[in-house]
Structure 1
Amino acid sequence: MNAASAILISAIAMTLIVGVRYLIVSGAFALATRWRFPGLYAGLDPQIRREIRWSLASAAIYGIPAGMVAWGWQNRGWTQIYSDIHAWPLWYLPLSVLFYLFAHDTWFYWTHRWMHRPRPFRIAHAVHHASRPPTAWAAMAFHPYEALTGAVVIPLLVFSIPIHVGALGLVLTIMTVMGVTNHMGWEIFPRFMWRGHLGAWLITASHHQRHHEQYRCNYGLYFRFWDRFCGTDRGVGSFDER
């Protein structure tokens, strides 16, 4: 098999993985929502179908570069991903996870804030905000232009910042879980994670809910650092009783 065919197969495989991961994780949290708050998504079936369609299209946009990078890592050693846990000191493992999360959060904050300028919002980001209210299926409901801005960040990071393959898996898991839980319309995490000293710096659904209510605030993904530093933090929101 030549390299082009192998890269194509890797891209298709990663697209399927991203799509199936989305369906499983979003589906699980949607079921949890129906169990915890029956009727919360009542009347939203057309919106949910739209969210799923956009999200599966986004899965391909995320999966293609991820598949190319995965092939390059395994066959050409292009990336800084390592599998030997002793290649770097053990203390670097958690540090690398924090590096990736902070870098991703920084990229997300500034691209997300840019997406709220009138023209980018009208062209692309309005697709995501068409979910009123957002549901557990909305985390990847992006216009392709917006999906592209999110799809490149992790592939770019693995070329520049060393990370163990297991730590990278943890980063991707956190990314997936936070993306879904921030949109599902209720707070799944304990109070100390969104109130008090820890909650002052972490983003959960209570914080992101206010972004979907007011638009011009709370742009972050994992941490409130950039929102607080730039004066765009408006605290936590509330959830309508439906």
Structure 2
Amino acid sequence: MWTAIILSALAMTAIVALRYFAASGVFAFATSKVRPGLYAGLNPQIRREMGWSLVSAAIYGIPAGIVAWGWQNAGWTLIYTDIAAYPLWYLPLSVFLYLFAHDTWFYWSHRFMHRPKWFRIAHAVHHASRPPTAWAAMSFHPIEALTGAVVIPLLVFLIPIHVAMLGLVLGIMTLMGVTNHMGWEMFPRWLVHSRLGGWLITASHHQRHHDEYRCNYGLYFRFWDRLCKTDKGLASP
């Protein structure tokens, strides 16, 4: 059993690392075409981002691998594969519940990481990326990576979700993590400045966090930033 669990953890670590390199690589390449020269002179920083991200991949991959083994072999989780097990309307609802729960945890843990002590100990690693690049999405100190790694593995014990919807959640998490750090706005202006866009976090919103530090702490939604009056809007074009 323990050998199988270890192999599952190693396999998931490799998957997380490959997902990171694939997603960040695609958007770094897009950046070189859309904003040529934006990352000029940042090669040493990018290498550091990659190094920290590989450490984070292991920290994310190990609990994910253990939970994946438990789901497949011991029925530990509430992940389901039968599309008829819950009403169809529950599919998008489950995605929203996961994203909102993750966003809530991220907002408060992220804000906590900006306390002077914890910023010096851990979060300074992420903010050492000046400016952040598409490779910075997982560039975390191990302590900070651990706070992020427990969320989804915990939620699968609390909220039922179809395996395909879980894949969608992980895809959105990866997409937002990379695109929010790449230094330019991928989404069209009409969306970013629309009523809907006013509740979503994109690169324009998160860039201001990296510029000013004490604002814009959210991951997917601006709900907590608005409620707690930490939303300072979008970065200047």
- Would you call these one fold, judging by a TM-score over 0.5? yes
Task: Tell me the secondary structure at the aligned position of residue 44 of structure 2.
Answer: helix
Distance 1:238 1:35 in 2: 22
| Matched ranges for 1:86-165 at <5 A | 86-165=84-163
* Residue in structure 2 matched with residue 29 of structure 1 by the alignment: 27
Q: Residues 70-103 of structure 1: CA distance to partner in whole angstroms, max 9, x if unpaired? A: 0000000000000001011110000000000000
1:191 CA displacement? 1.5
Distance 1:203 1:29 in 2: 17
Distance 2:19 2:197 in 1: 28
Question: Match of 2:59, as an amino acid?
Answer: I
* Residue in structure 2 matched with residue 175 of structure 1 by the alignment: 173
Q: Are the equivalent residues in 2 in contact too, given 1:111–1:149 (CA < 8 A)?
A: yes
Residue of structure 2 aligned with 1:192, choices 190, 193, 196: 190
Task: Tell me the secondary structure at the aligned position of residue 85 of structure 2.
Answer: coil
Q: Structure 1 runs of 4+ off > 6 angstroms?
A: none
Q: Are the equivalent residues in 2 in contact too, given 1:220–1:226 (CA < 8 A)?
A: yes
1:193 CA displacement? 2.7
Question: Match of 1:134, as an amino acid?
Answer: P
Q: Residues 177-197 of structure 1: CA distance to partner in whole angstroms, max 9, x if unpaired? A: 000000000000111332120
Q: Residues 40-86 of structure 1: CA distance to partner in whole angstroms, max 9, x if unpaired? A: 00000000000000001100000000000000000000000000010
* Residue in structure 1 matched with residue 73 of structure 2 by the alignment: 75
1:238 CA displacement? 2.5
Q: TM-score, normalising length from structure 2?
A: 0.99
* Residue in structure 2 matched with residue 203 of structure 1 by the alignment: 201
* Residue in structure 1 matched with residue 212 of structure 2 by the alignment: 214
1:199 CA displacement? 1.3
Task: Tell me the secondary structure at the aligned position of residue 231 of structure 2.
Answer: coil
Aligned length: 237
1:212 CA displacement? 0.3
Q: Are the equivalent residues in 2 in contact too, given 1:193–1:202 (CA < 8 A)?
A: no
Question: Match of 2:24, as an amino acid?
Answer: S
Question: Match of 2:109, as an amino acid?
Answer: T
Which structure 2 residue ranges, 5 or more long, are not aligned?
Answer: none
* Residue in structure 2 matched with residue 85 of structure 1 by the alignment: 83
Task: Output the aligned Cα RMSD.
Answer: 0.6
Distance 2:46 2:153 in 1: 29
Distance 2:174 2:106 in 1: 14
1:156 CA displacement? 0.4
Distance 1:129 1:171 in 2: 25
Question: Match of 1:113, as an amino acid?
Answer: R
